[in-house]
Amino acid sequence: MKLTLKIWRQKDANDKGKLVDYQLSDVSPDMSFLEMLDVLNQQLIDNDEEPVAFDHDCREGICGTCSLYINGRAHGPDREITVCQLHMRSFKDGDTIYIEPWRAKAFPVIKDLIVDRSSFDRIQQAGGFISVNTSGNTQDANNILIPTADADTAMDAATCIGCGACVATCKNSSAMLFVGAKVSQYALLPQGRIEAADRVKNMVAQMDLEGFGNCTNTGACEVECPKGISLDTIARMNRELMKASCK
């Protein structure tokens, strides 16, 4: 395939940045999207040009670092996949592809397509833990009876990889799906009830401090989430916050 790539180039957070056109030919439909970017970068290096900076790590849809905004959609045109799982067969010969970083105040651009998502780390550090004693006379996990439905729902929330697609998709740059998932994965388990009140209050406060917007109730975050995290997690977070605020 022959493709026209319009890629966002930005030296750092203070640079204005702009879309730059690149022509790429002999792209195999069997290439992954990241492999295609590797080919482009090799072409740029061969021509003594600056390669495009982009994040990636596992290339297995687990870590979320490959996050890109492709043709106006987080992670590209397919549902419930990350960019590293996107293949060029999703595009046609002659296509023009727009490739941009996440757009959010709380995700400042580091360079080109790489953004700083350490705000997510700080939200988790604010309360995403349990203080159950893990040394000494610990109770065997199999002795703690948990309804299967609760365990399954907690696991569904725990599949969140923190990629930030929800933030990039939301017109308010809300992180409520992410925070809702992190709150929910503990809220349904007895081990998570010890800090439940402090956890939700601290994590929501940190989310607001980082500059994320409020939920729009449009559901775009769930649609674009590569792990299909449900909006129910936001509702659960709101219930947990209301209960904590009434204590």
Residues 126 and 98 occupy one common structural domain:
no
pLDDT of residue 142: 72
Q: Are 237 and 178 in contact (CB under 8 A)?
A: no
Residue 138 lies in a domain: no
Q: pLDDT higher for 135 or 103? A: 103
pLDDT of residue 135: 66
Residue 41 CA, distance from chain mean position: 24
Q: How far apart are CA 246 and CA 235, in angstroms?
A: 17
The residues facing 174 across adjacent strands are: 213
pLDDT of residue 20: 98
Q: Each residue of 7-65: pLDDT tens digit?
A: 999 999 899 999 999 999 999 999 999 999 999 999 999 999 999 999 999 999 999 99
What is the model's pTM?
Answer: 0.92
Residues 127 and 223 occupy one common structural domain:
yes
- Residue 188's CATH number: 1.10.1060.10
Q: Each residue of 2-23: pLDDT tens digit?
A: 999 999 999 998 999 999 999 9
Residue 197 lies in a domain: yes
- Residue 39's CATH number: 3.10.20.30
What percentage of the chain carries pLDDT values higher than 90?
Answer: 88
pLDDT of residue 141: 66
Q: Are 158 and 185 in contact (CB under 8 A)?
A: yes
Q: What is the DSSP letter of 74?
A: E
DSSP 77-122: SSSS--GGG-BGGGS-TT-EEEEE----TTS-EEETTEE--HHHHH
Q: Dig out the tokens for 73 from the structure.
A: 């959609």
| Structural domain range at position 205 | 117-131+145-246
Q: Each residue of 200-212: pLDDT tens digit?
A: 999 999 999 999 9
